[in-house]
Amino acid sequence: MRNHLILLPGWGLGISPLEPLAAALQGLDEHLRVEIEPLPELESSDLEEWLDELDSTVPQDAWLGGWSLGGMLASELAARRGDRCCGLLTLASNPSFVAHEQWPSAMPGETFDAFLAGCKAEPRMTLKRFSLLCAQGSADPRGLSRLLLGGAPHTTASVSINGLEVLAQLDTRQALQTFRGPQLHLFAGLDGLVPAEAAQDLLKLLPDVEIGLIERAGHAFFVEDPHGVAGAIQAFFHEFSDD
């Protein structure tokens, strides 16, 4: 179903940040059906359990996409499904969110560990800090942060912590290399959570896929400019649409 796109949200902020983008995409193409699938709320940080849950709830034979953690999970699910996935779209989604020797263009491990500890000690304050990091690089960081935080769901602390632990485990490089369908990966030049260098490193890893860098934008770039981002996505989809 090349006219069906499933979007997975990032950590902590729920589906509302993706809603303007979904509306903009459907406004550009009345035949395109866009759904936002919430992340699993599991009392587990086992990655395979998360992927099993998504595989059982997300429709087959659709495009898969997502923001940050959602894009990483979409990448793993696309590799698992193979020909049963039409294509992959990621937004500000680093193959590895936490830096390691083979992928240095990511968040330092000690920074992530401090963030995880903060989530355990003061979950609401940590989410506020996270929303500010998402808004960093935007034209109105404080306004965007308030918008993101205002739409965040009231998730239990244990579910939030499990999500962070899944995020720390993920390394999607092999999944991205395994998946043979079309791929579009968009990054932001002023992202406070995913270094812009990750875009260039991903291009070295995947020289045959589409990778874009939006220079003057932050982690939530598609919230600031849903119509511009939707236009870029729609143009990419058009290359692979059924005639």
Q: How many CB atoms lie within 10 A of CB 177?
A: 13
Catalytic-role residue among 75, 138, 185, 219: 219
Alpha-carbon distance of 194 to 95, in angstroms, equals 10
Choosing from 131, 160, 191, 201, which is the catalytic residue? 191
With the C-alpha atoms ordered 112, 115, 120, 124, is the resulting torsion angle positive or negative? negative
Residue 158 appears among annotated catalytic residues = no
Which of the residues 68, 96, 138, 145 is marked catalytic?
68
* 238 in active site: no
Active site residue 160: no
DSSP state of 183: E
Supply 141's token pair.
């960081």
> How are strands ordered across the β-sheet holding 4-8?
33-36, 4-8, 62-67, 85-91, 183-188, 210-214
Catalytic residues: 68, 191, 219
